[in-house]
Amino acid sequence: MKFLANSDYKKIDFTYQELYSLGDGVANVFMSGVFENGTHATFNICPTVGVNKERITINCFNATYIIEVPVGQQKVGTLTKYHLDNVVLQLEDSNSESYVNSGFYNENADFFDNVRSGQMSKNDIKSGLQSVVCANCIKLRKEVYVL
């Protein structure tokens, strides 16, 4: 979300639906955030619902992005951009390997290629810090993150 919004988070609100009957730490997680540039995004992690999808919605001025990352048996990932209620971009990627479709392979490959070539800057590493902080907020069941 940060990449598409081209901004750091300003604030994220977290809501949890604890699923104690399924074990310790099992929960649906609902995130609603606003970025420093005013972009809003929602991100829901619901591991026990009727569909195994990772869906992200980003709302900008006159534009909305909907991303579906392939998870589990789902083999196709999509990115759709709407501008003034019209689809202006639709990308679809299908690969037999879920670690490629979900982006982890390319993210890791890009990181290691940059390190090998010496192009890595401290800003590149800093750009991932908020993602780590968000993951820690979820782990600690924080309700609000403010930059």
The domains of the chain are located at 2-146
What is the signed CA dihedral for 92, 97, 98, 100, rounded to 10 degrees? -70
Helix (H, G, I), strand (E, B) or coil at 133: helix
Query: pLDDT tens for residues 57-88?
Result: 888 888 999 988 777 666 678 889 999 999 99
Strands (E), 2-147: 9-18, 27-35, 40-45, 54-60, 63-69, 76-83, 86-94, 144-146
CB 64 within 8 A of CB 49: no
CA-nearest of 118, 93, 115 to 103 is 93
Please name the fold of domain 2-146.
Dihydrodipicolinate Reductase; domain 2 (3.30.360)
**Does the pLDDT at position 17 exceed 70?**
yes
Give pLDDT, residue 99: 63
Query: pLDDT tens for residues 22-55?
Result: 998 899 999 999 999 998 988 888 877 877 777 8
Q: How many CB atoms lie within 10 A of CB 60?
A: 19
Give pLDDT, residue 55: 80
For CA atoms 4, 60, 90, 12, give the dihedral sign: positive
CB 52 within 8 A of CB 74: yes
- The Cα–Cα gap between 44 and 35 comes to 17
